[in-house]
Amino acid sequence: MAHASPEMTLQYAKILDTTMRESWEKATKQGIFKIDKFGKLKEINTSDIKNKDIIEWEYIRNNLDVVRMPFGYCMKPKKLECHTQLQPCLTCRNLCTTPDFIPQYEIEIEETKSLIERGKSKGETVWVDKNQTILEKYTEILSVLKEGKIHHTAGKKGREYIVEDDSNGK
């Protein structure tokens, strides 16, 4: 976006989000429909829905780039780029993990493979691509751990603080 300041960009992003939300609310007042497994439209009677959050989830699912995180979901707008959405610690140079964590990585790999398959079955290519990237990172780290090594991108220098010689003739 070519605005003079980040504040203006944020202001327009808020306006866009508000406009989208108002459009969503206006559309849902006309009725909510679901496509059944036969490809037919089926109207949803909102008075029958015990958990109204289901409707909100449909809005989220269709308008936000929802990514499952370890403790919930990241719900950034689809048009907003996010460099930490890929399991933040997986891309952080300060992540330090040892072979003690092999079982957890194996579990995460299986869960991620399951998410990829579910994404493929639903035709969610963005979902599949992002989870494929996560799977590759988990697999890369696991292979290091299975060699009996520590995974720490920052390396030994990042783990140790060495006081530099500051004598300078003093």
Domain ranges (residues) in the chain: 1-81, 86-170
How far apart (Å, rounded) are the C-alpha atoms in residues 127 and 142? 22
pLDDT, tens only, 135-159: 999 999 999 999 999 888 877 665 5
Q: What 3-state DSSP class applies to 149?
A: coil
Residue 166 has pLDDT above 50, yes or no: no
Phi, psi of 27 (to 5 degrees): -65, -40
Percent of the chain with pLDDT over 90: 21
161 C-beta neighbours (distance < 10 Å), count: 6
- According to DSSP, residue 152 is labeled E
Q: What is the pLDDT of residues 7-61, one digit of tens each?
A: 666 565 555 666 767 776 787 777 777 777 788 888 777 666 565 555 555 556 5
pLDDT tops 50 at residue 114: yes
In DSSP terms, 13 is beta-bridged to none
Which carries the bigger pLDDT value, residue 103 or residue 169? Answer: 103
